Every structure is written in structure tokens, then in C-alpha cells.
């Protein structure tokens, strides 16, 4: 499901126009992205928690150049699913 399908589903379930739903969706994503950019995690009930962590630099093999390359450390997003969604996915 992409953005278009998500916006359409929101507009149908909430009773808003697709333009209003898209504005709300865009602001929601912007707010969540800002939290992650400032190292502030957040939780979406019944879905899970998002946080950031630093992935240390490491070496890996590059098959194109047939040699080892160094990948620098960087900030990555980490997701932990809630027990609710875990149970739902496993039909428990």
C-alpha cells in the first residue's frame, strides 16, 4: 500500500476529501520524521515503537569491485513491533 492508497483509505473512513486527507497524512509524516531527526523516539499504539540508533562503521565485500569497502557509521531507524500486531500477524 502506497501513499495514494493510504490517503484514499483515510478519506473514505474519516469522511474527508482526498486533498484534506493528504494534507493530514503529509503533516503526520513530517512530525514523525522531525522526532526521529532529533533523536526522539515515538510509539504508535497497537503498531510499535520507532527510535534511532547509531550503526557503527564496518567492512563489507563489494562484488562489483571484488574487494572490501568501509561503510561509515550512520544513524538508522529502528522499529520494534507491539505485541498486539505480533499476535495479529501470527493469528494468535
Residue 43's closest CA among 78, 2, 3?
78
pLDDT tens, position by position, 40-68: 999 999 999 999 999 999 999 999 999 99
What is the model's pTM? 0.75
Q: Is the pLDDT reported for residue 92 higher than 90?
A: no
Residue 73's closest CA among 88, 91, 54, 60?
54
Amino acid at each position: 500500500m502506497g501513499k495514494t492508497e493510504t490517503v484514499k483509505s483515510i478519506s473514505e473512513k474519516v469522511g474527508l476529501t482526498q486533498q484534506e486527507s493528504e494534507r493530514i497524512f503529509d503533516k503526520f509524516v513530517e512530525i514523525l520524521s522531525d522526532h526521529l531527526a532529533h533523536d526522539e523516539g515515538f510509539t504508535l499504539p497497537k503498531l510499535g515503537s520507532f527510535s534511532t540508533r547509531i550503526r557503527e562503521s564496518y567492512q563489507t565485500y563489494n562484488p562489483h569491485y571484488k574487494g572490501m569497502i568501509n561503510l561509515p557509521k550512520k544513524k538508522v531507524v529502528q522499529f520494534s513491533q507491539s505485541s498486539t500486531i505480533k499476535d495479529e500477524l501470527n493469528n494468535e
